[in-house]
Amino acid sequence: MENALVIGASGGIGAALCRALSSRQVPVTTLSRQENGLDVTSQTSVDSLLDALTGPFDLIFVATGALEIDGKGPEKALREVSAEALEAQFRLNCLGPALILRHAARLMPRERVCRFAALSARVGSIGDNGLGGWYSYRTAKAALNQMLHGASIELARSHKQSICVALHPGTVDTGLTKKYAGGYKTVTPDDAAGNLLRVLDALTPAQTGQFFDWRGEQIPW
């Protein structure tokens, strides 16, 4: 791997990914709200910063997202669903990565293996949903999964060796999950980053467009 671009590099997982890649001697370009004023929900902001990049990047990793936005956590019942919370979740967890995907073909090499990955969540799986609830977050992540699957088909036409996937990092000990981890075993951001990179290392272009967890196991849509 010659170059990497990490979006959301100031977050827990994003920063850990940067450390892990740097330890491999991979040059890393970073973008984040904290460092660059990036607002992934704004097409103007995304286009302004990504248009300035030339690449090529062998890995583009979108590590943005949030479970709780503006103090509104996951809904436990339908009566708690609101238009505002649903729209906010969709804008951050689906629209943001989608706006970045618009730049993927230009920024990734055509002549060698290249990878585009975005953080999704197992709760975004429709087939794996046996509990209900968490309506806005689940729906936004399910929409993200569809975006990535569709993008993988288009990218494969021009970038024959591309791998475009959704990744579930497990329950990571970050501010995003602290209030909602419950009895689930958590891992550190550094462990999560190492797991995710190992999964990406093992994937082949034949597996593009799929949804994997931190162990490399495929998750149903």
Residue 8: CB atoms within 10 A of its CB come to 27
Instruction: For the chain, give the number of residues.
Output: 221
Please state, in angstroms and rounded to a whole number, the distance separating the CA atoms of residues 196 and 202: 10
Which of 62, 47, 51 is CA-nearest to residue 7? Answer: 62
Q: Report how far residue 11's alpha carbon sits from residue 49's, in angstroms, rounded to the nearest whole number.
A: 18
pLDDT in single tens digits along all 221 residues of the chain = 689 999 999 999 999 999 999 999 999 999 999 999 999 999 999 999 999 999 899 999 999 999 999 999 999 999 999 999 999 999 999 999 999 999 999 999 999 999 999 999 999 999 999 999 999 999 999 999 999 999 999 999 999 999 999 999 999 887 666 666 566 778 999 999 999 999 999 999 999 999 999 999 999 99
CATH for 4-213 is 3.40.50.720
To the nearest 10 degrees (0 to 180), the angle between helices 83-90 and 135-158 is 30
Helix (H) or strand (E) holding 98: helix 96-101
Closest CA to 120 of 159, 47, 170, 160: 170
Find out whether 213 and 170 touch, Cβ atoms under 8 Å. Answer: yes
Report the alpha-carbon distance of residue 177 to residue 62 in Å, rounded: 18
List Cα–Cα distances, 31 to 5, 102, 133, 165, in angstroms: 8, 16, 32, 20
Cβ neighbors of 52 (< 8 A, separation 6 or more) are none
Any idea which residue has 């609830």 for tokens?
133
Contact between 200 and 117 (Cβ < 8 Å): yes
The DSSP letter of residue 205 is G
Task: Record the pTM.
Answer: 0.94
